[in-house]
A and B are shown apart, each in its own frame.
Chain A
């Protein structure tokens, strides 16, 4: 017996729209089962996980803080994936963006100027873009697979950051803690509202999402992205260059990941330390797909995934389950999104080896 996927003649529009919601519902069901197996009351656990964080103003601020990098990175990745370039290394570009963006406050802690913050953001974007330029160069020059190169560069970036903050950049007055001096106040990304911690990164995320949505929807560039993503040959016929698209999409997603990195360090942390991300760069891949690679959809999916981080922290505190559970949720979600999408396009057929009789009609 074997299982075959058979392409459906018609793809249901209704289910294509429902697919992400369906995936969410399935994730909740399986999450409940997991909590039950862990010996917790599943309903209570789900409530703590997914509802409680939405009831307080301060935790809504936290939600925005966590969603901002996810959306920023996610929309960049969406353009990348749409163009059939598979940047898996946003986590590394995030890290490098955080490092290059922090050069000014770390090396010139006494420079007090309103210019410093814009410069930091720009340097963060440039750093992320340049780091994403490495797999782009390797792909265009040597036809290297960008999935592997961008992923491997993540670990290089993380180890480089670790080395920096334990060595060169360590705060001499920091009691040997592996971290830099706290940034001067001009170098800190300000809060949006006085009611909580949420800072401008969330605004950047929304602007980036809307801008890229506009590009994909109305501009020739967006058309170019879709054409080259679906058929390089047709793109060539249109006069578009697949090679330039590799550069465009990698640099764009790298720059946005770098912006997310420096915003996180400057707005949420206030200094550089060995760990600056709970895996935003990887989670953003889920965000991009859950948002159906549509920048507006990614705003919503970024908030959902941010909730899994927040819920994980809350559940750890109040019912004592490991915050690794949030990783499980994210994995479940990606699994269900991809399988829902697959089942929309294909049906499953069981084939019992060669014994199926032919139906006979008179």
Chain B
């Protein structure tokens, strides 16, 4: 499929002037899109560009405010996902809708006609999964499956309806590189059968690798349509972002100083049945160093952050040391007073309270570490709003936080701007140790590069930085050393230059040294 086969064939799906308004905000405005039979079509765009809204309209979850959808050349109204399925549209969502306590076959049965027997579903699912190279045991319980395997259930579930168009929403965001490769093989098989795929992603490399055409969205509008194989990642990024993205610089080696944070043989039992237990974790980060911890989501990253931050102090006081002092029993504010700063993964409701203004959210992280500046009257602890507001201004300026009004609610900022504020809130203190979980998750490219640069600069200024991240590009951009977390175990840290993407991929799949790849790693949790 190339661009040249335009008007000759009738597109499978055509979208004309599709618009979705939420109040006065246009999430999608006048979108045009054509998907030819048998092509893999990429929908590119940053978070908040309107990709999900568009797809939800195509799948009947949302109704368009204006515009037209043509299926095989004739106008259709897609009032519900059921109707979309009847037309021949299948969807694999980014967040799976599976019941962990049920088996694979039972989960598939839930979305089908209740009259079909479970054994028939099992048989069909088994044969489909074999035909498309998606190994899956219909009798396995979902709770025991890895994220990659769970995704296969969703794909098989969509394929059972024999769809002509399959929509995949950010399918590789939860996969290791090896699992992603396997997914691509399946997609090529589907394409060879003449089915179309709408592939939503913000990962430029993989779009260039597998897609025939791409439609780029920005701020709810189509900003480009191209053959991604003829583009460079930089030119695609430009279409997505609208301007050149600043490259992150890391010039020169920073001399390493004293050990600032040290973890020795830390084990933490799982707090809930769905949590991961940490097993014998050891690491050491020196001043001037950025240690990146790679891993697929749900392998203990959140639990490790909780232990390092002191939100959940650990049993062994000596297991965690910040600047030489044992802090395992110390709470988060005690660790902050030793010079540590923390940036959790979840912005809304963890790092920030969305319904509170930025100034209150500054106080949230620094009420004790900056007690002298922000509070007065000793025990009564009167909040000094003026001092906090001027500090808020300072942080917003330093990190270029774009906002409406002087002190807006945190929830009204875009993800990227809020994240810049949250990172800036810690940088403003010049912490000796900074622990960041997923620093640029769901953040636009401009903000992401700014945040990464800030983390590198902080290390260069003599702080120890721990970055927990799923984004391998990010890790290679900023890390001096890389360790991999898998099933709650942390690998040794290797200098960033000595590791290849493949090697990290294997380690993320649970292969630490020279073992072979297991068929399925059974302990991931979604």
Of the candidates B83, B336, B355, which one forms a contact with A230 in the assembled complex, judged by CB atoms under 8 Å apart? B355
Of the candidates A220, A237, A239, which one forms a contact with B350 in the assembled complex, judged by CB atoms under 8 Å apart? A237
For B458, list chain A residues within 8 Å (CB). none
Segment touching A, from B117-125, B195-203, B376-384: B376-384
Given A226-B356, A358-B69, the answer on whether A231 and B381 have CB atoms closer than 8 Å is no
**CB atoms of A227 and B364 under 8 A apart:** yes
Given A230-B356, A237-B311, A360-B67, the answer on whether A9 and B350 have CB atoms closer than 8 Å is no
Bound form: Cα–Cα A360–B17 in Å? 9
**A357 to B, closest residue via Cβ:** B77
**CB atoms of B65 and A234 under 8 A apart:** no
B376 CB to nearest chain A CB (Å): 10
A93 CB to nearest chain B CB (Å): 26
Bound form: Cα–Cα A355–B63 in Å? 12
**CB atoms of A219 and B380 under 8 A apart:** yes
For A355, list chain B residues within 8 Å (CB). 79
**B19 to A, closest residue via Cβ:** A361
**CB atoms of A219 and B344 under 8 A apart:** no
Number of interface residues of B (CB under 8 A): 45
B48 CB to nearest chain A CB (Å): 15
Residue B23, interface by CB 8 Å? yes
For B331, list chain A residues within 8 Å (CB). 239
A261 CB to nearest chain B CB (Å): 28
For A234, list chain B residues within 8 Å (CB). 349-353, 364
**CB atoms of A218 and B383 under 8 A apart:** yes
For A238, list chain B residues within 8 Å (CB). 332, 364-365, 367
**CB atoms of A227 and B353 under 8 A apart:** yes
Bound form: Cα–Cα A220–B311 in Å? 19
For A230, list chain B residues within 8 Å (CB). 349, 353, 355-356
The bracket for how many chain A residues form the interface is 20 to 34
B459 CB to nearest chain A CB (Å): 23
In the complex, per-residue mask of A335-362: 1 if CB is within 8 Å of any chain B CB, else 0: 0000000000000000000111111111
Q: Which of A4-30 contact B (CB under 8 A)?
A: 8-10
Given A231-B350, A358-B69, the answer on whether A237 and B23 have CB atoms closer than 8 Å is no
Residue B333, interface by CB 8 Å? yes
For B69, list chain A residues within 8 Å (CB). 358
In the complex, per-residue mask of B330-351: 1 if CB is within 8 Å of any chain A CB, else 0: 0111001000001010100111
Bound form: Cα–Cα A73–B79 in Å? 50
**CB atoms of B77 and A358 under 8 A apart:** yes
Given A230-B355, A234-B349, A237-B365, the answer on whether A361 and B66 have CB atoms closer than 8 Å is yes
B interface residues (Cβ-Cβ under 8 A, vs A): 17, 19, 22-25, 63-69, 75, 77, 79-80, 83, 309, 311, 331-333, 336, 342, 344, 346, 349-353, 355-356, 360, 363-365, 367-368, 375, 380-383
Interchain residue pairs A-B with the least CB separation, the first 5: A9-B23, A220-B381, A239-B333, A231-B349, A361-B66
